[in-house]
């Protein structure tokens, strides 16, 4: 299976590439007043407003660095009880893919109720990578404002 690799701070993470519709450069994002810090805003993708989650702000409490390798990952997801839609994820160092089998992942041995989207880990020559479980990420109660955005659209 193919995975897209990116960084949050100094640590590496990955998500299944089949869930990624497109990887686009960090473009102009319309901010949303009074939004949570991890909700970077909206951007116009082919005439459709797409909500953008800053993964660094969500996981680390600080916005992603604005670098050439910082990208928006457009992923297919379902937000809360709403229907399927595209969601953008800002990710740093999103420039690599990795092919591996699901059987190569190991349970991290750590349960994190605050970040249930953190999945199993994989070891490669450069250390550990942790899988982001996209369905768990998008179903978190903290993402309720995205469901409200979808209902208003």
The domain spanning residue 93 has which CATH number? 2.40.50.180
Mean pLDDT of the chain: 87
Domain extent, residue 6, equals 2-152
pLDDT(53) > 80: yes
> For the chain, how many structural domains are there in total?
1
pLDDT in tens, 54-103: 999 999 999 999 988 999 999 987 665 566 778 999 999 999 999 999 89
pLDDT of residue 102: 87
Indicate if the pLDDT at residue 141 is higher than 70: no
| Residue 120 near residue 109, CB atoms below 8 Å | no
Closest CA to 94 of 15, 2, 19, 38: 15
Query: For residue 41, is pLDDT > 60?
Result: yes
- What percent of the chain is modeled with pLDDT above 90? 55
Q: What is the pLDDT of residue 150?
A: 53
Percent residues over pLDDT 70 in the chain: 86
Cα separation, 146 vs 88, whole angstroms: 11
pLDDT band per the 50, 70, 90 thresholds, residue 136? confident
Torsion of CA 143, 25, 74, 152, to 10 degrees: 50
Residue 112: is its pLDDT beyond 60?
Answer: yes
């Amino acid at each position: 299976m193919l995975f897209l690799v990116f960084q949050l701070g100094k640590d590496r993470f990955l998500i299944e590439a089949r869930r990624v519709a497109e990887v686009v450069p960090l473009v102009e994002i319309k901010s949303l007043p009074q939004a949570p810090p991890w909700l970077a805003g909206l951007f116009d993708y082919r005439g459709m407003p797409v909500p953008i989650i800053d993964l660094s702000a969500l996981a680390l409490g600080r916005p992603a660095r604005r670098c050439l390798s910082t990208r928006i990952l457009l992923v297919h997801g379902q937000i809360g009880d709403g229907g399927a839609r595209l969601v953008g994820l800002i990710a740093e160092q999103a420039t690599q893919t990795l092919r591996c089998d699901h059987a190569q992942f190991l349970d991290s041995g750590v349960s994190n109720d605050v970040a249930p989207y953190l999945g199993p880990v994989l070891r490669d020559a450069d250390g550990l990578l942790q899988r982001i479980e996209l369905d768990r990420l998008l179903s978190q109660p903290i993402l309720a404002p995205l469901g409200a955005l979808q209902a208003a659209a």
